[in-house]
Amino acid sequence: MSSIQINNETFNYELNGPENTPVLFFSNSLGTTHSMWAKQVDYFSKNYRVLSYDTRGHGESVKNKGPYTLEQLGNDVLQITQALGIEKFSFCGISMGGLIGQWLGIHAPEKLDKLVVCNTAAKIGQEAGWNDRAALVRSEGMNPVADGSAGRWFTEGFVQANPASVNALINGLRQTDAEGYASCCDALAKADLREKIALIKTPTLIVAGSHDPVTTVADADAMAEKIAGSKRVDLDASHLSNIEASEAFNRALEDFLKR
Considering only residues 83-112, where is the footprint of ligand LWBT4IAB by CB under 6 A? 95-96
Cα angle, residue 77 at apex, residues 237 and 256 outer, rounded to 5°: 45
Least separation in angstroms between CB 171 and ligand LWBT4IAB: 15
Least separation in angstroms between CB 204 and ligand LWBT4IAB: 18
Decide if residue 30 touches ligand LWBT4IAB (CB under 6 A).
yes
Q: Which of 104, 214, 227, 233 binds ligand LWBT4IAB (CB under 6 A)?
A: 214
CA dist 190 → 64, 124, 125, 182 (Å): 18, 10, 10, 13
CB-based contact 216:127 (threshold 8 Å): no
Binding span for ligand LWBT4IAB by CB under 6 A among 24-32, 36-44, 79-87, 199-207? 24-32
Decide if residue 174 touches ligand LWBT4IAB (CB under 6 A).
no
Number of neighbours of residue 82 by Cβ within 10 angstroms: 12
Q: Virtual CA dihedral for 146, 216, 209, 203, nearest 10 degrees?
A: -120
Considering only residues 133-162, where is the footprint of ligand LWBT4IAB by CB under 6 A? 149, 152
Rounded CA separation 157/123 (Å) = 28
Cα angle, residue 153 at apex, residues 149 and 156 outer, rounded to 5°: 95
Q: Which of 50, 80, 115, 124 binds ligand LWBT4IAB (CB under 6 A)?
A: 124
Q: Which is nearer to ligand LWBT4IAB, 29 or 40 (CB)?
A: 29
Least separation in angstroms between CB 72 and ligand LWBT4IAB: 15
Q: Virtual CA dihedral for 19, 20, 22, 23, nearest 10 degrees?
A: 40
Q: Which of 12, 29, 52, 202 binds ligand LWBT4IAB (CB under 6 A)?
A: 29
Least separation in angstroms between CB 87 and ligand LWBT4IAB: 28
Size of the site for ligand LWBT4IAB (CB under 6 A): 11
Rounded CA separation 159/251 (Å) = 23
CB-based contact 154:166 (threshold 8 Å): yes
Q: Which is nearer to ligand LWBT4IAB, 119 or 202 (CB)?
A: 119
* DSSP calls for 78-138: HHHHHHTT---EEEEEETHHHHHHHHHHHH-GGGEEEEEEES--SS-S-HHHHHHHHHHHH
Least separation in angstroms between CB 151 and ligand LWBT4IAB: 10
Residues that bind ligand LWBT4IAB (CB under 6 A): 29-31, 95-96, 124, 149, 152, 188, 214, 239
